[in-house]
Structure 1
Amino acid sequence: MINILEYGAVGDGQTNDAPVIQKAIDTCAEQGGGVVLFPGGRTYSSGYVLLKSNVEVHLEPGAVWKASSNIEDYYPLRNNGKITAHESGLPSFLNSEYAGRPFHAFIYALGQENVTISGQGTIDGNESVFYGDDSGYHIEGSYYPRVPLLLLEDVKHLTIKEVRLTNCAFWTVHLVGCKDVLIDGIRLLNNLKMANSDGIDPDHCQNVRISNCHIECGDDAIVLKNSGDYKKYGPCENIVVTNCTLVSTSAAIKFGTEGESDFRNILVENCCISRSNRGISIQIRDNGNVENVIFSNIIMETRRFSYEWWGRAEAVCLTALDRKPGVKAGKIRNIRFQNITCEGENGIFLLGSEDNYIEDVTFEGIRLTLDKKSKWEINGYDKRPCQGEGEIYTKISGIYADYVKNVSFHDIQITKKEGILPFYEEDVTLGNVENVRIDVEEPEDGSQNGEE
C-alpha cells in the first residue's frame, strides 16, 4: 500500500497533487500492483491522472479527489486539447450529435487490466468551471463535449465500488470498449440542472454488471451507447442493471442516441425511478439494432422538467427514427416489459417510421397512473433528435403506438387522476400498426373501462 501523503501530496484543496498521485500509481504498477491510498480528511486538488494495471485507488471516508479549475491541467485527447464550441452552434438540447471522444479527460485509463476504484471517499468533477448559459432550469455547458470524470477505455476486469462521484459537467463514468465491468454500491450525485451530466455510460462494452447504486443527474442516469469514434470495440452486450435507485432530468434508463453498433442481451431489473423526465427510453438514430432486452420489476415516477430536456414524462419511450439523411436507423425488436408500475404525467410511447417498424415488443403486468405533477404543460410527445419537427403536439394517451407490429399488451391497467383529464385523449391511440393486441383491464376503482 502506498500512501500519497508519504509521497508528498499536500491535500490542501489548492495545490495540484496530480504529479504525486501519478508517481504513486506508477510505482505501484511497476512493483506488480497494490493499493494507492487517499487518506481521509483532506481535499486533493488534481489535474489528470492515468490509471494503471493491477492498481486499486482507494479513497478513505472524508477524502476528496477534486478536479482542477484549470483546463490546461486535463489530459488532451484530440486536436492537441484545443477546445471548440458545439459544432452545430446550437445548444445541446437541440442538437448533441457526438462521436464519443471528448477533448480532455480527468481520470483516464487506456488498455489496462485489473483496475479498481474503491472506498467511501469522493471524486469531485468541479462542475462550475464549465458553466455556460443558465435558464434557471437548465445549465448549458460553456463548450461541448466537456470533461468526463472517468474515461476508461479498453480496460479489462474493471471494478468501481462504494465511492461517491459528484459535480461532473459531462458524462460521469464513461466506459469505452471495457470488458468484465463491476460497478457496485456507488453514489453518483450531479447537479439536476447540468446539461449532459450523464451518470454511467457503457459505450461498446461487454459483460457489465451495475448494481446497488444510487444515481441523481441532469441528463440520463444509466445510458448505453455505441458512439462513432469507438466502433472498433463492437456491440454493447451481456449487461445487467439491478437494484438501483435513479433520478434524472432526462431518462433514468436509456439506450442511445449514439448507436453505431448493436445493443443486445440486456437485463434491467429491480429498480426504483423517481422525479425523472422519462422512465425508460430506447432512442435509435444510427445503424445499430436493439434486441433481446428485458425490463422487469421496476417502479417509477415521472414528471416534466422544462422544455430543454428531451422527453414529456413518458413512462416508456421507444423510437426508431433517422437522425439525418443517408443514415438509416437500426431496428428495435424482441423487447419485454414485465411488472412495471408508473405514476406520472405521460404513458407509453412507441414510434417507428414508415420503413422501420418497431417489432416484437411485449408489455405484461403494467400499472399506469396518470396525473398532473409539475407546472409544465402537458402537450404530447417528444421525438428529438430527428429530422423535421421534433414534437407531436396533441392530448396524451395511456398507450400511443405508430409504425409498430407484433406488439402485445397484457394485464394492463390505466388509471386517470382528475388533474390529467384536461390533457387526456384516450386510453389507446393507434396509427400504422400490424398485429397489435391490447388487453386493458378495469382497475378496482372502476375508473377505466376494459377494451381489447
Structure 2
Amino acid sequence: MGYYFVREYGAAGDGKTNDTAAIQQAIDECHREGGGRVVLSSGTYVTANIEIKSNVELHLEHGATIVASPNPDDYDCTVWGGGRHYLIFSKQAENIAITGSGTIDGNGKSYIETDRGHIYKMKRKRPFTVLLVGSKTITIENIRIVDGAVWTLTLSGCSDVLIRGIRILNDLKVPNSDGIDIDRCQNVRISDCHLECGDDCIVFKATDFLWGKGPCENVTVTGCTMVSNSFAINIGCEVEEPIRNITVNSCVIRDSHRGIGVHLSNHNNVENIMFSNMIIETRYRNPDWWGAAEPIYVVSIPWTDKDKLGHVKHIRFSNILCKSENGIFIQGWEDYTVDDILLDNVRIELDKWTDEAGGRHDIRPCHGGDLDGRSAGVYDYPTNGFFLKDINGTVTLRNCEVVWGEHIPDYYKHALEAHRVQGLDLQNFKGTAAFPARDEAIVRTV
C-alpha cells in the first residue's frame, strides 16, 4: 500500500493556513495511482471541500485535526448538485476509509448566530462534517469527530458500511447536530461507538433530498453509548422508501430527551425492527427540543395534511431497563396500520429529578404544526407508565413492570392507559397506580 503524506504536498497544519488544496492533491494522486493511505501527521489542518475518492484511506494520526473552515465562502456547494456545504465528501466512490486516532472538527462554534440559553440559533450556511453519497465498501474506524455544525456523519445511498469505535462529541445546544444519519443505505454495521449529540445520535431515514433511491435496510447497531437532547436512536421521520431489517443490541442511553423507537410521518413502511438488552435513562428538556422524556416511543402520524402513511409492523423491544421522567408512548393514526408491537421483559421506573416542566406529550413532527411551533404536537397530559392510543393492530406487553420512584408529581397516574387499541394482550403485567388511594385503576382503558 502506498503512503501519501499531506505535508509533502504543501499542507502546513498550522491551524491558520487553508490546507484544502494540498490535502486534495494528495488524495487525487493516491487515487490515480490505484489507491493507498493519505496520512495527516500531528497538526491542525484548516480545510473545506475535501473529496475522498475510490481506494483511498484518509488516515489521521494521533494529534492530527482537520477543522472546518469558519468562512462559508471557502465551500463550493455546487460540487455534487446538492447545494450543501460539507467538510469531507465522497460521491460514487468505492473502497474508501476514514481511520486513525485523530480528530475531525466540524467547527460548529463558528456558525452560532445567537445563544438562547438552552439552544443555539445557527447560521444558515453551516457545513455537514462528513457526507458520503452513493458510495460503497466504506470503513470509518476509531476516529473522533467533534463540534458538528449540522448532521455530523451522514451516509446517503451507500452500501456495505462499517462504522466502528468512533466518538462523536457535539455541543448539546446545537440543533440538528445529528450523530450518524443512515439514509437509504444497505448492509450497515455500527458498533462500539460513543455519541453525544444535540439532535438524534443515530437516525435511520429515507429522504427525498440527498442521494438516490432505494430502502434503508439490513443494519446492526451493537455496543454503543449515547447522550442526546432529542432521540438517541430514531427510525424515521422521513420514510420515502421502506426502512426495515434493523437490530439494536447491548446499548446504553443516558441523560437523553427520548430513548429509542420509531416515528413514521410519510407514505412508506417501517418494519422488522428489534431493540434488545438495553439500559435507557430519559429526562425532560426544554420543548424547543423534540421529545418528552419517553424511553420507548412508537408513533405513526402524518407530517403535513398532504402526507399519507404506510405501516409500522413487527417491532420488538426485549430485555430493557428504563428509568425516566415520562412513560412509554405508542400511538397510531386513524385507520393507518400499527401492528404486531411486542414489549417483552421491559421494566420502567418513573421518577422526577430535573427542574424542567413535565406532564406532557410530544408527537412532532405532525399535521398542523411546524418545526418551531408547538401548538399541534406538544400538549399537557398526565404521565402513565405505558400510554397506548389509536392502534388498529396488536400490542403485546409480556412480563412488563411499572415502578414509581421517590419523587412523583401529582400528574403521575396509571401503570397503563389505553385508548382505542384493537388488540391489547397483557401477559404477566405488573404495576400499581402512582397514587393508589386517589387513582384506583392500575390499567385504564377508553
TM interval, short-chain normalised: over 0.9
- Equivalent AA in structure 2 for residue 390 of structure 1: G
> Aligned residue for 2:217?
237
**1:277 counterpart = 2:257:** yes
Residues 61 and 447 of structure 1, relative CA distance in 2, 3 Å threshold: farther
Residue aligned with 2:34, SS: coil
Matched residues in 2 for 1:147 and 1:67: separation? 8
Matched residues in 2 for 1:175 and 1:143: separation? 21
> Aligned residue for 2:49?
48
C-alpha offsets along residues 373-426 of structure 1, whole Å, 9 cap, x if unaligned? 211111221011112311231111111111112110000111011322422121
Runs of 4+ residues deviating >2 angstroms: 77-80, 229-233, 438-444, 446-452
- Equivalent AA in structure 2 for residue 246 of structure 1: M
- Equivalent AA in structure 2 for residue 128 of structure 1: K
> Aligned residue for 2:85?
104
Residue aligned with 2:99, SS: strand
Matched residues in 2 for 1:411 and 1:79: separation? 51
Write the mapping of 1:402-421 to structure 2, written as runs, cut at 5 A. 402-404=389-391, 405-421=393-409
User: Is contact 2:134-2:211 (8 Å) kept?
Assistant: no
> How much does 1:356 deviate?
1.2
User: Is contact 1:441-1:450 (8 Å) kept?
Assistant: no
**1:30 counterpart = 2:29:** no
Matched residues in 2 for 1:442 and 1:200: separation? 36
Residue aligned with 1:396, SS: coil
> Aligned residue for 2:422?
434
Matched residues in 2 for 1:391 and 1:47: separation? 39
Residue aligned with 1:323, SS: coil
Moved more, 148-157 or 280-289: 280-289
> Aligned residue for 1:349?
329
Residue aligned with 1:76, SS: coil
Residues 50 and 232 of structure 1, relative CA distance in 2, 3 Å threshold: closer
> Aligned residue for 2:373?
none
> How much does 1:283 deviate?
1.1
| Alignment gaps of 5+ in structure 1 | 81-100
**1:119 counterpart = 2:100:** yes
C-alpha offsets along residues 215-271 of structure 1, whole Å, 9 cap, x if unaligned? 001000000011112473201000000100011000000012111111011100100
Instruction: Give the structure-1-normalised TM-score.
Output: 0.91
- Equivalent AA in structure 1 for residue 15 of structure 2: G
Write the mapping of 1:266-345 to structure 2, written as runs, cut at 5 A. 266-345=246-325
Residues 442 and 450 of structure 1, relative CA distance in 2, 3 Å threshold: farther
Moved more, 375-384 or 68-77: 68-77
> How much does 1:47 deviate?
1.6
Moved more, 407-416 or 379-388: 379-388
Which of 121, 127, 134 lines up with 1:140 in the alignment? 121
Write the mapping of 1:177-196 to structure 2, written as runs, cut at 5 A. 177-196=157-176
User: Is contact 2:57-2:96 (8 Å) kept?
Assistant: yes
> Aligned residue for 1:211?
191
> How much does 1:443 deviate?
6.8
User: Is contact 1:357-1:403 (8 Å) kept?
Assistant: no
> How much does 1:188 deviate?
0.5
Identity of aligned residues (%): 41
Residues 346 and 440 of structure 1, relative CA distance in 2, 3 Å threshold: farther
- Equivalent AA in structure 1 for residue 7 of structure 2: L
**1:60 counterpart = 2:47:** no
- Equivalent AA in structure 1 for residue 52 of structure 2: L
Matched residues in 1 for 2:381 and 2:431: separation? 25
Q: CA RMSD in A?
A: 2.0
User: Is contact 2:326-2:359 (8 Å) kept?
Assistant: no
User: Is contact 1:77-1:105 (8 Å) kept?
Assistant: no
- Equivalent AA in structure 1 for residue 225 of structure 2: T
User: Is contact 2:415-2:431 (8 Å) kept?
Assistant: no
- Number of matched residues? 429
Residue aligned with 1:298, SS: strand
> Aligned residue for 1:93?
none
Matched residues in 2 for 1:43 and 1:57: separation? 15
Matched residues in 2 for 1:439 and 1:309: separation? 35
Matched residues in 1 for 2:401 and 2:435: separation? 10
User: Is contact 1:416-1:447 (8 Å) kept?
Assistant: no
Matched residues in 2 for 1:147 and 1:304: separation? 29
Matched residues in 2 for 1:201 and 1:391: separation? 25
C-alpha offsets along residues 156-178 of structure 1, whole Å, 9 cap, x if unaligned? 10000000001111000110100
- Equivalent AA in structure 1 for residue 9 of structure 2: Y
Which of 365, 383, 386 lines up with 1:399 in the alignment? 386
Residues 78 and 117 of structure 1, relative CA distance in 2, 3 Å threshold: closer
Residues 355 and 451 of structure 1, relative CA distance in 2, 3 Å threshold: closer
Residues 390 and 123 of structure 1, relative CA distance in 2, 3 Å threshold: same
Moved more, 192-201 or 125-134: 125-134
| Alignment gaps of 5+ in structure 2 | 369-375
> How much does 1:123 deviate?
0.3
Which of 226, 236, 251 lines up with 2:206 in the alignment? 226
**1:369 counterpart = 2:352:** no
Moved more, 228-237 or 294-303: 228-237
Residues 123 and 8 of structure 1, relative CA distance in 2, 3 Å threshold: same
> Aligned residue for 2:13?
11
- Equivalent AA in structure 1 for residue 10 of structure 2: G
